[in-house]
Structure 1
Amino acid sequence: MPLIESAIGGVAGTVIDTALKAGGAVANQIKGAYTETQAQQKAFAAAQEYVKRYDQRHCQVKVMPGLMKEPLPLEDIYTAVKLLDEQSIHYFAGLDDLEETYRAKGRRSFGLEESEPRDGIQVASAEQYLMVLGGPGIGKSTFLRKIGLEALRKNGQIERDCIPVLIELKELRDETIDLKQKIAAEFATCGFPEADAFTEASLAQGKLLVLLDGLDEVPTRNLNQVVEHIEKFVDAHSNNAFVASCRTAAYRGSHGTFLKRFTDVTLAEFDDEQIEQFIRRWFRSALDLEAGTADIYWQLLQKDEHKATKELAQTPLLLTFLCLVYDRENLLPTQRSALYGKALDILLSEWAAQKRLEQDPIYKGFHPDLEKVLLAQIAYDSFEQDQLFFLKDDIIRRISEFLADTLDAPKHLDGAAVLRAIERQQGILVERATNIHSFSHLTLQEYLAAFHIKEEGLDAELIAHHLTGRRWREVFLLVTGLQGNKAIEFLKAIETTACTYVAKHPKLITLVQWADTSTIDSLGQFNPLAKRAAAIASAIDIAIDIAIAIDSAIYGAIYSASASASAIAIYSARAIASAIYSAIAIDIDIDIASAIASDIASARAIAIDRASARVSAIDRAIDRARAIDGITSIFMTNPQLADLPSQLKRMSTIVPADEASTEDWQNWANELEALWLEALGLTQADLTFNKEEAEALQNYLYATELLLKCKDAAVRIPKQAWAELEARLLTYPS
């Protein structure tokens, strides 16, 4: 049933019932001027108008007017929210505990709650006095409007028989505060008969659901007075239901608890299920359904390269922004620095401006540009110290030092006041436990750290100290995007440092030079860098087999905690080399690296574990023979390589019997290995790496792969400069 019809049917009965049950003078005011039939007609008309106005005023969503052309009905995009008990959050956890808990989760989310989240509407229906807490843009106002919508419906999810009245507390700017008058005004504008008397009757009968939105948005000068008035009002009309909302930082930062009778709950960040649901509700036009837009967008967010973007989507406001961007451009930009910069601006200034909030007086002298520089320094310093969480006293000290060293910073500011304002106004810094803070999103911390690096000219230090640090990966991509036309110089600096990893190891120099010379005149008509990467991946496959032959325990331990550092490094190096190849040779559907030498590893496995099937070795040997066309597209043809298919077929005919000894299997594997080494022009010594060599190779390949990703993240790269740089990758001068 459409909203209007359903809601009118629901609220009209309550309105009429309230009017008819009113007693004494109130009843006389409501009923005295009309016959019972007239009163019912007027009540029905008022209910109709009330529902219509509630829909127009509170159920049309339009945020970020620059991107969103027209409002959307709340019902079309509303995604069910989940609530957490306040006591379930780690308020008393220590700094080390929070760091450990976050890193153990393995996902980009600072949410550290312990309890199972509960359905928001169910909680709102069950609780008579509810305080909904959450950060900026988490969906508090939307949730309150949805509660009102469900209360209006005849068979809605709010089971209480009530009339919802939504009051935006930011409007309480006058010294005289009268909630009853505000409620009556809501009814009067909709033509309720004798609105003042009807309000009295509704309150007396416990028929109202009063939605108090934005306690944190009350002007500071009026806050204590408003809180006191609300508490007295609730006490005087305690048989009614009340739901209030407030930003978490403002609520916790108050002296004592704001509303003592209320049950405090916190809106949980969106999880994957909610993000997907929101996307599917957003992209459900006939055109989007036909094109499968929601499916495409959701799958795009699942990719590793967009995991930082997906973290922003845990906040509904920023998810709305991301949907608007995708709706307009039909893609997620690879140059994510601009995307994240816009998301930061939304939190820093645009959201508060759009809501017409009265800013904290501190912002009269502390403008957004200065705040961004401050936050960027905090983000970078914390990243340098490998800190995701930091003590309140430490962050106040950093803010105070920043202000003391800033020429035009207002003299009246102090660190504690600035921290409070940042928490309450934008929520970019969040208190995760008592006196312990973090950024609201790791993605924003990474962006701000990158911004600081760019502004302070710290590119060289970043590359020198953090090129192979995996947690700095996103920072590198963002720094590249912020470089503008200078991005190519940043990439050249990465290349120079990458080369130093192999320069200290003659064996690695030999490997890189071999990859270049053995592929330079091969038949394949695709990127020479892809050929070199595939050659190195193929050689590493054989290196792994050699490592297994030297120490059979490596086979069993390679994926376990007991694996040696060199074994882990060499396996990682193979994966990175394959990633380089795959990223470049997008038009080639043969994974050359996996087509080489895994039959040898299979034979080793059989020699180590006799339970493995003999037929596996036969099949693999034949498969490798069939893959020779792909191999010759990578490597230059030589007599040994040309003869390899027939040799592999021969090997498949002499696979040891089931009852053969381990030694027989080892000998068979050794012969396979020798065939491959001879065909590729390598020796066993070339591919036997110690720990330092294996780790250096891993770092070299990782830096090269990161460089390629940074190229994609750049705003502009000159064609000729890139061609020259690409030609040098995975090469080493003779």
Structure 2
Amino acid sequence: MTGLEPFVAPLVSIMLDVLKDSGKKESEGLIARLMNRDVGKDFQDVVFKAAGQYIKSYTKRHGELKVLGMRDPVKLDDVFTTVQLLGEDEVQQFATIDDLEKLYRKADQRLLRYRSKERQDGITVASQKQFLMVLGAPGAGKSTFLRKIGLESFKGKKGNFKHQAIPVLLELKKFTESKIDLKALIEAEFTTCGFPKPKEFTESALEKGKLLILLDGLDEVPSANVNSVIDAIQDFVDRYDKNRYIASCRTAAYRYNFKRFSDVILSEFDDEQIQQFINNWFRSEEDKQAGTAALCWELLKRDENKAAKELAHSPILLTFLCLTYDKSQTFANNRSGLYKKALRILLEEWAAEKRIMRQAIYEGLSVELEEVLLSEIACEGFEADRLFIPQSQLVERIKKFLSSNLNAPKQLSGEQVLDAIAIQQGILVERVEDVYSLSHLTLQEYLTARYIYAHGQVSQMVEKYLTDERWREVFLLTSGLMVDRGSDELLLEMHKTAKQYARHPKVKALLQWADKVTAGSSGNFKPAAKRAVAIGIARAIHIAIDSNRAFRDIAKGIVRYIAIDRAIAIDRAIATIAAIDRAIAKDIAIAITIETLSTRPIARIIARDNKLEKSGIFTELELSQFTNQLQDLKSAEEESNITLINKVAELVKSAYLEAFHLTEELITYNDEESQALNKYLYSIDILLKCKKEAARLSPATWDAIEAELLLPPHD
């Protein structure tokens, strides 16, 4: 038993129908000739055997995936994720490149491609369209989709493909001769599997429209043969137009509108498809028991992995991420290493795995040299805050690069290089006519970081962009790239700039308070961690007593400052303090908000204040008066006495400020002061994250930085 037996019967039915029809037309048709030889049951055995062999051959050749260095192949059916197709009208036309920039920013997402809500199930569309051209980026899953359609057709009425037809998959990259005989290639598929009278069978099947012909990879045809292949396909489709045809091609390479074909675009995966793919990938019993798929998906959704998640919208890069997670149960300790590998997959590994012949223009243009070129393009656009680049500008940039590099091949033209990068690799993508962008914002950020580090522009980056959140990923990637010299230079420059932000009078006053109330305290925590908790509590109190803030914004408002605490402290106990801080902000806000009549937050505050006193973070912390006021507030709320609640709530605010030696003036900010404080705290936050990303960092450098974190600057 091979597991393929249920698929044999539908195929046998089609084959017998083809043979029967052939017998009707010819007095010496296939069945007639076979019956005259009195084969009887032997004839049925031949058909069944041929059908079984054909399904086995197709499944072996096209029903398994083994890519990117996988140890073992996986069944396509096991990992296939429902694909979505976009219609022909999804190629958006914009009046100017500025319109495209505005559309991206309005969408507020990292994906650079316009994402339409009008999607259709891929197999459903394939069932509806007799002639279908499937377009998509490299690694988008075009070949996998065609192979899946073939597998579905074997299932007959039990499958999702709604037509009874024999699938024949032809890989167009093998069309290396100028003369193409499609019928002979189809006949060869049947001959190999022992079909009776394969030449006559092929002709009859074509005449009767019993074949599903899958033409995979029009873009992979050697350039010298493209025109002859297109002509051969067009003529063949016109001659045998009762059959069904599905072809595939990379979007950037598609310049030929097959007159009968409906063009559709293979959409990038959405979150639901990503999760489905991960669930399918980690489907072994061991993974099910360990909950590997759920853990992988939850990790990918974390904010710190949003750039990696952007890559996951591409099936080939999602496969890479699953392989990475399978090996280490994480995506990467160093994200720059992860993105470097993803870039190399697109630059060379994917084409090599598919055995695609590189065009002659690549002779002399090494992958390393191409990375340098792409880094220049990426950084120039990123610094100008331009994500989309006119074709003319790109061509000029490429020409300039080639002419200024002694070792760059001089015979190449800018147009040729751009076409090759767009068509064969998909790194640069034509979003609308004559307008390009990098395929992923993540790759643009990585290439920008690579350029910054390679050209010694770290200090300039810090000076210009330290508090620009758009550059956040670039800072983190740069830190990870600094392996040779270490990240010391970057972190020292960031710390130096952060200290300049701390000179703002309001920021300086808050830091002086935090140092004063925690210096010399008994708690067994690092001084910087104590100061971080103090600042977090001050901010929490400010948020809580600001009646104009909605409750839902409170947690969001302090998450950044809690992250500072977590990053500084190695001690596990700091996580507990962070939880106390977060809870205080929420509960105080509820307790002193008149509209919220609930005693539960008050009870939680009392319990947590006791823990906070015992932590020893503050030098002097006397919360007994505040606790008494909270008890009074609790009684007032139980009585629903609004007048009393108003009165006691004010006392609660005053008592809490007094307990921490705070004044309302110290934690009240106008817009300019608030921006200054946010800028300073953001710079500390990104500094700590860069420390975490560093592949190499001197302990002495970090000890010196940490000792001064969140301290007021010296006059």
Shift of 1:353: 1.1
Q: Find the aligned partners of 1:144 and 1:349 in 2 and give their Cα distance.
A: 23
Contact 2:632 2:648 in 1 (8 A): no
Matching of residue 174 in structure 1 with residue 173 in structure 2: no
Q: Find the aligned partners of 1:717 and 1:135 in 2 and give their Cα distance.
A: 39
Q: Find the aligned partners of 1:2 and 1:698 in 2 and give their Cα distance.
A: 65
Corresponding residue for residue 564 of structure 1: none
Corresponding residue for residue 226 of structure 1: 229
Within-5 A mapping of 1:593-632:
593-594=581-582, 596=584, 601=589, 605-606=593-594, 612-613=595-596, 615-616=597-598, 620-632=601-613
Deviates more, 1:715-724 or 1:642-651: 642-651
User: Alpha carbons of 1:30 and 1:215: their partners in 2 closer, same or farther (altered >3 Å)?
Assistant: farther
Shift of 1:440: 1.1
Cα RMSD, aligned residues only = 2.6
**3-state secondary structure, aligned to 2:437:** strand
Contact 2:334 2:694 in 1 (8 A): yes
| Matched-pair identity in % | 45
Matching of residue 54 in structure 1 with residue 47 in structure 2: no
Shift of 1:308: 0.8
Q: Find the aligned partners of 2:141 and 2:117 in 1 and give their Cα distance.
A: 20
- Residue 636 of structure 1 is aligned with which of 618, 623, 644? 618
Corresponding residue for residue 498 of structure 1: 498
**3-state secondary structure, aligned to 1:63:** coil
User: Alpha carbons of 1:630 and 1:520: their partners in 2 closer, same or farther (altered >3 Å)?
Assistant: farther
Q: Find the aligned partners of 1:655 and 1:132 in 2 and give their Cα distance.
A: 65
State TM-score, norm by structure 2.
0.92
Contact 1:600 1:672 in 2 (8 A): no
Corresponding residue for residue 672 of structure 1: 652
Within-5 A mapping of 1:227-306:
227-251=230-254, 254=255, 257-306=256-305
Within-5 A mapping of 1:559-578:
574-578=558-562
**3-state secondary structure, aligned to 1:686:** coil
Q: Find the aligned partners of 2:284 and 2:638 in 1 and give their Cα distance.
A: 63
Matching of residue 488 in structure 1 with residue 488 in structure 2: yes
**3-state secondary structure, aligned to 2:4:** helix
**3-state secondary structure, aligned to 2:386:** coil
- Structure 1 segments unaligned to the other structure (5+ residues): 560-567, 607-611
Q: Aligned AA for 1:32?
A: R
Shift of 1:352: 0.7
Corresponding residue for residue 430 of structure 2: 431
Shift of 1:597: 6.8
Corresponding residue for residue 191 of structure 1: 194
**3-state secondary structure, aligned to 1:159:** coil
Shift of 1:395: 1.8
Corresponding residue for residue 106 of structure 2: 104
User: Alpha carbons of 1:84 and 1:586: their partners in 2 closer, same or farther (altered >3 Å)?
Assistant: farther
Q: Aligned AA for 2:208?
A: Q
Shift of 1:624: 3.0
Corresponding residue for residue 592 of structure 1: 580
- Structure 2 segments unaligned to the other structure (5+ residues): none
Corresponding residue for residue 379 of structure 2: 380
**3-state secondary structure, aligned to 2:247:** strand
Query: What are the superposed Cα offsets for residues 64-118 of structure 1, whole Å, 9 maximum, x if unpaired?
Result: 12xx111111111111111111212314463233222222323322231435211
Q: Aligned AA for 2:605?
A: R
- Residue 699 of structure 2 is aligned with which of 715, 719, 724? 719
Q: Find the aligned partners of 1:158 and 1:545 in 2 and give their Cα distance.
A: 59
Matching of residue 202 in structure 1 with residue 182 in structure 2: no
Q: Find the aligned partners of 2:685 and 2:112 in 1 and give their Cα distance.
A: 28
Q: Aligned AA for 1:500?
A: Q
Shift of 1:276: 0.8
Shift of 1:677: 2.6
User: Alpha carbons of 1:642 and 1:733: their partners in 2 closer, same or farther (altered >3 Å)?
Assistant: farther
Corresponding residue for residue 354 of structure 1: 353
Corresponding residue for residue 119 of structure 1: 121
Deviates more, 1:643-652 or 1:77-86: 643-652
- Residue 149 of structure 1 is aligned with which of 151, 154, 164? 151
Q: Aligned AA for 1:589?
A: T
Shift of 1:605: 4.0
Corresponding residue for residue 32 of structure 1: 33
Shift of 1:688: 2.9
User: Alpha carbons of 1:244 and 1:731: their partners in 2 closer, same or farther (altered >3 Å)?
Assistant: same
Shift of 1:347: 0.4
Shift of 1:250: 0.3
Q: Aligned AA for 2:562?
A: S
Q: Find the aligned partners of 2:478 and 2:27 in 1 and give their Cα distance.
A: 68
Contact 2:510 2:535 in 1 (8 A): yes
Deviates more, 1:88-97 or 1:597-606: 597-606
Q: Find the aligned partners of 2:53 and 2:448 in 1 and give their Cα distance.
A: 52
Shift of 1:5: 1.1
User: Alpha carbons of 1:488 and 1:694: their partners in 2 closer, same or farther (altered >3 Å)?
Assistant: same
Query: What are the superposed Cα offsets for residues 359-409 of structure 1, whole Å, 9 maximum, x if unpaired?
Result: 122111322111111111111111111122222222222222222222222
User: Alpha carbons of 1:718 and 1:518: their partners in 2 closer, same or farther (altered >3 Å)?
Assistant: same
- Residue 68 of structure 2 is aligned with which of 64, 80, 83? 64
Q: Find the aligned partners of 1:214 and 1:541 in 2 and give their Cα distance.
A: 58
Query: What are the superposed Cα offsets for residues 434-486 of structure 1, whole Å, 9 maximum, x if unpaired?
Result: 22211111111111111111111111121111111111111111111001151
Contact 1:128 1:242 in 2 (8 A): yes
Q: Find the aligned partners of 1:110 and 1:488 in 2 and give their Cα distance.
A: 33
Q: Find the aligned partners of 1:539 and 1:221 in 2 and give their Cα distance.
A: 71
Contact 1:165 1:211 in 2 (8 A): yes
Contact 1:555 1:605 in 2 (8 A): no
**3-state secondary structure, aligned to 2:576:** coil
User: Alpha carbons of 1:596 and 1:397: their partners in 2 closer, same or farther (altered >3 Å)?
Assistant: same
**3-state secondary structure, aligned to 2:134:** strand
Shift of 1:510: 2.3
Q: Find the aligned partners of 2:115 and 2:38 in 1 and give their Cα distance.
A: 57
Shift of 1:687: 2.5
Q: Find the aligned partners of 1:599 and 1:317 in 2 and give their Cα distance.
A: 46
Contact 1:84 1:113 in 2 (8 A): no
Corresponding residue for residue 77 of structure 1: 79
Shift of 1:604: 6.2
Shift of 1:639: 6.9
**3-state secondary structure, aligned to 1:490:** helix
Q: Find the aligned partners of 2:162 and 2:38 in 1 and give their Cα distance.
A: 31
User: Alpha carbons of 1:525 and 1:3: their partners in 2 closer, same or farther (altered >3 Å)?
Assistant: same
Shift of 1:319: 0.7
Deviates more, 1:519-528 or 1:141-150: 519-528
Within-5 A mapping of 1:394-543:
394-484=393-483, 485-503=485-503, 505-543=504-542
**3-state secondary structure, aligned to 1:264:** strand
Contact 1:596 1:624 in 2 (8 A): yes
Paired residue total: 703
- Residue 134 of structure 1 is aligned with which of 128, 133, 136? 136
Q: Find the aligned partners of 1:445 and 1:433 in 2 and give their Cα distance.
A: 19
Query: What are the superposed Cα offsets for residues 24-81 of structure 1, whole Å, 9 maximum, x if unpaired?
Result: 559535652544634332222111111111011111110012xx11111111111111
Deviates more, 1:396-405 or 1:366-375: 396-405
Corresponding residue for residue 609 of structure 1: none
Q: Find the aligned partners of 1:221 and 1:654 in 2 and give their Cα distance.
A: 87
Q: Find the aligned partners of 1:456 and 1:234 in 2 and give their Cα distance.
A: 55
Deviates more, 1:148-157 or 1:418-427: 148-157
Q: Find the aligned partners of 1:409 and 1:627 in 2 and give their Cα distance.
A: 66
Deviates more, 1:34-43 or 1:644-653: 644-653
State TM-score, norm by structure 1.
0.90
